[in-house]
Amino acid sequence: MKAIRSKGFDPARIGWEESIFHTANGYLGVRASLEEGAPENAFTVRGTYINALYDIKDIKYGEKLYGFPETAQGIVNLTDVQTVRLWVDGEFFSLTEGEILKYEREVRMDKGFSQRSITWRSPNGKEVQIRVRRMASLNQRELFILSYRVRPLNFEGEIVLEGEENGNVENFSNPDDPRVSAESPKHLFVQEARRVDDATLIVSTTGRSDLTVACAVKYRLDEGGEATSRVDGERVLTRVTYLAEQDEDVTLTKYCVFTDSRREADPRAAALGILNEAAELDPEYWMIRQQEKLDRFWEESRVTVDGDKKLQASLDYSLYTLFCSAGRDEISNVPAKGLSGEGYEGHYFWDSEIYIFPFFLLTNPDIAKNMLAYRHHILPEAREHAKTMGHEKGALYAWRTISGSECSGYYPSGSAQYHLSGDVAHSFIQYYLATGDIAFMRDKGAEVLVETARLFMDAGHWVDGAFHLDCVTGPDEYTCIVNNNFYTNAAAGQNLLWATKIILDLRKAGMADEVTEKLAITDVELMAFVDAGENMLLPYDSLRGIHAQDDSFLKKTPVDLAYIPEENFPLLMHCHPLWLYRHQVCKQADTVLAHYLFEDLADEDIMRRSYDYYEKCTTHDSSLSTCVFSIMAAKLGDMDKAMDYFRRTATLDLDDTHGNTRDGIHTANMGGVYLGIVAGFGGLRIKEDGLHLSPRLPEKWDGYSFTVKHMGATINIQVRKNRCTLELLNGEPVTVFISGKKVKVKDKTKVDL
CATH code (residue 79): 2.70.98.40
* Degrees to nearest 5, angle at CA 669 with 46 and 435: 115
Radius of gyration for the chain, computed over Cα atoms and rounded to the nearest angstrom: 27
Q: Is the dihedral of CA 666, 667, 668, 672 positive or negative?
A: positive
User: Is 492 a domain residue?
Assistant: no
Is 392 in the active site? no
User: Is 178 a domain residue?
Assistant: yes
DSSP per position, 490-533: HHHHHHHHHHHHHHHHHHHTT--HHHHHHHT--HHHHHHHHHHH
CA dist 722 and 115 (Å) reads 42
Q: What is the per-residue pLDDT for 600? A: 97
User: Is 561 a domain residue?
Assistant: no
* Degrees to nearest 5, angle at CA 302 with 687 and 29: 105
User: Is 252 a domain residue?
Assistant: yes
Task: Tell me which residues of the chain have a pLDDT lower than 50.
Answer: none
Q: 343 and 180 in contact (C-beta within 8 Å)?
A: yes
Q: What is the per-residue pLDDT for 753? A: 83
Tell me which residue of 409, 403, 361, 368 sits closest to 382, measured CA to CA: 403
Q: What is the per-residue pLDDT for 616? A: 97
208: which DSSP letter? Answer: S
492-543: pLDDT as tens digits: 999 999 999 999 999 999 999 999 999 999 999 999 999 999 999 999 999 9
User: Is 482 a domain residue?
Assistant: no
Q: Which of 18, 345, 353, 477 is catalytic?
A: 477
Note down the domain range covering 45: 4-268
User: Is 150 a domain residue?
Assistant: yes
139-175: pLDDT as tens digits: 999 999 999 999 999 999 999 999 999 999 999 876 6
Q: The whole model's pTM is what?
A: 0.97
| Secondary structure E strands in 658-712 | 685-687, 690-693, 703-710
276-320: pLDDT as tens digits: 999 999 999 999 999 999 999 999 999 999 989 999 999 999 999
10 Å Cβ neighbour count for 114?
23
If one counts the domains in the chain, the total is 1
User: Is 91 a domain residue?
Assistant: yes
User: Is 115 a domain residue?
Assistant: yes
Q: What is the per-residue pLDDT for 47? A: 97
DSSP H or E stretch at residue 745: strand 741-745
Q: What is the per-residue pLDDT for 173? A: 73
